[in-house]
Amino acid sequence: MEYQEYANEVLQELKKTLLSVSVNDTSAFVDLLLGAKEIFCAGAGRSGFEIKGFAMRLMHMGLNSYVVGETCTPNIDEGGLLVICSGSGETKSLVNHAQKAKSVGAKIALITIDPNSTIAKLADVVIEISAPSPKSAHEGRIHSIQPMGSLFEQTEGIYMDIVIMMLMERKGMNSDTMFGRHANME
C-alpha cells in the first residue's frame, strides 16, 4: 500500500473507534473532571505518553492536575479523581494505583479496551474504546491494520483532546485563555 492508502485506512479506523465511545459515559467523565478537587493521571507505555498530554491540557485550563509517579505529585484523597489509561485494565502498577485511590475515597475514571477488567471493576466511570490490543483479553469490535495497540493509543489521545474541548465549552474558555498558562521557560 502507498502512504495515501495507509493514511485513509488509519483515518477510517479512528473514525470508527471515536464514534463508538459512549456519549453518556463521556458526559459522566466530564462531570467527574469538573467536580474533582485534583486530577491525577496515570498510564504506562504509550498510554502513559497520551495521559501526560491530557494532564498538561488540564493544567492549561487552570485545573489541579498531576501525573502519577512524578516527584512533585501530591497524595490523592477523597476529593481527588484518578484518570487511568490502560488498554488491558490489568497493568499491575495501575491496578495498585486504582486500589490506593479507592481506599482513600477518591473517584476513578478508566479509559480502556476491556470494560470488565480489574481496574474497570474499581472505576466510577469506564470509557470503552473498542480497539484491538495484544495485551487485552477483551478484543475490541473494531479491527486494525496497525501494529499492536496503536489504534487504542491514538484513539485515547484524540478522545482526551475532545474531552478537553467539552471542558473548555463548559468553562467558557478558548485556546487564547488557555495559552496564558502555557510554559514560558522552554
Kind of pairing, strands 80-85 and 107-112? parallel
pLDDT tens-digit profile of 105-128? 999 999 999 999 999 999 999 999
The confidence band for 1, taking pLDDT boundaries of 50, 70 and 90, is: confident
- Of 29-38, 88-97, 125-134, 138-147, the poorest mean pLDDT is in 138-147
- Strand, helix or coil for residue 109: strand
Q: What is the pLDDT, as a whole number, of residue 136? A: 54
Q: Is the pLDDT of residue 184 over 80?
A: no
Share of the chain above pLDDT 90, in %: 81
- The CATH code belonging to domain 36-145 is 3.40.50.10490
Check if 153 is active-site.
yes
**Residue at grid coordinates 485506512:** 9
Q: What is the pLDDT, as a whole number, of residue 144? A: 82
pLDDT tens-digit profile of 124-157? 999 999 887 665 555 556 788 788 888 999 999 9
Q: How far apart are CA 79 and CA 50, in angstroms?
A: 24
**Nearest in space to 62 (alpha carbons), one of 181, 186, 184:** 181
The confidence band for 166, taking pLDDT boundaries of 50, 70 and 90, is: very high
Largest CA distance in the chain: 52
Q: Is the pLDDT of residue 174 over 90?
A: no
As a whole number, mean pLDDT of residues 7-14 equals 94
Q: What is the pLDDT, as a whole number, of residue 131? A: 84
Strand order in the sheet with 80-85: 65-67, 38-43, 80-85, 107-112, 125-128
**Residue at grid coordinates 486530577:** 39
Query: Domain-by-domain residue ranges, the chain?
Result: 36-145
Check 2, 153, 156, 169 and give the catalytic one.
153
Note the pTM of the prediction, 2 decimals: 0.92
